[in-house]
Amino acid sequence: MIDSDFLFKGKIDFRAGYVSIIGTPNVGKSTLLNRICGEKLAITADKPQTTRNKILAVINNENSQIVFLDTPGIHSSEKIMNKKIVEKAIEASEEADLILYVVDLLNKNPDDEMIVEKLKSVDKKVILLLNKADEVKVKEDILDSIAEWKGKLDFEDIIPISAVNGDNLDRLIPIIEQRLPFSPPFYPEDFLTDMPMKFFVSEIIREKVFNLTHHEIPYSAAVTIDKFKESSRQIEIYANINIERESQKGIVIGKKGSMLKEIGTQSRLEIEEFTGKKVVLHLFVRVHKNWTKKPGVFKEYGIE
């Protein structure tokens, strides 16, 4: 029931709520968030576990405020760091009013069975998004996938989408709105995210490390900001690329420093675009042996 005293913007039907985006690694969750927001808030790479934290993004519409939580990929793993990351994704789904469950139409992942079982024990509304629908050559295959997934869980809706192209996302937003509780907004109208600027700077640099070193550097790379000095026109940044083995250092630095220079150049250009200011970026490479097996340092490296 709506509180009789509740009124926002002259409307008694305003809705607001938290929406968690979950799924296995590499299904397009971060791409989806960026497309919906119209801003690059989450980094993307063609490797699992690019996202390590819940990233909060707020979308304000005329009749609603949708608070999205982009989460790390849920997967089976015995590694300490990966277990911690998966815990964060599960926690986000439990906190939300609604869950967007993203799956890859082209590539089945056995861990989806594990996610479905977890969702059965969570008393939440779930919308299933079948991503990469634009890449399916035989459209009847999409209908077959919808029929198959209908038998797995009582979904609120099943929607084929393309996170890259934005296909069907105009249909998605109203469906989300209809399933949120009546509520005043949680954040001001101009609020976009709760993450600090340093977080986005470190994420931009980490993305360049992943994309430029390809499969040579595993997900043991983390970026920390040692100094962030901002003036009205310029930002000066001192950042460390932290890796866990000495053998990885030469790969990140490259021949005569070529790789580190390219990481720095691409990072600086994107940070300048993101902040609208000139950026002076100083990059260093530091070896912290086996840090991914030491939970005590996870917070330092952005896994909280």
Question: Cα dihedral angle (153, 132, 50, 83), rounded to 10 degrees?
Answer: 20
CATH topology of domain 15-178: Rossmann fold (3.40.50)
Which pair of tokens denotes residue 129?
């998004």
CATH number at 197-297: 3.30.300.20
Please state, in angstroms and as integers, the Cα–Cα distance from residue 64 to each residue in 13, 14, 36, 120, 122, following that order: 9, 5, 14, 28, 24
Q: Residue ranges per domain, the chain? A: 15-178, 197-297
Q: How far apart are CA 261 and CA 194, in angstroms?
A: 31
Predicted TM-score (pTM) of the model is 0.68
Question: Could you list the pLDDT tens digit for every one of the 304 residues in the chain?
Answer: 444 445 565 666 899 999 999 888 888 888 898 888 876 665 454 444 544 456 678 889 888 999 998 777 775 555 655 566 666 666 767 778 999 999 999 888 888 888 888 888 888 899 999 999 999 988 899 999 999 999 899 999 999 999 999 999 989 999 999 999 999 999 888 787 767 788 888 888 988 898 898 766 656 788 888 998 988 889 999 999 998 888 889 999 999 999 999 999 999 998 888 888 899 999 999 998 888 777 777 777 766 5
Please state, in angstroms and as integers, the Cα–Cα distance from residue 259 to each residue in 68, 212, 226, 242, following that order: 35, 8, 21, 15
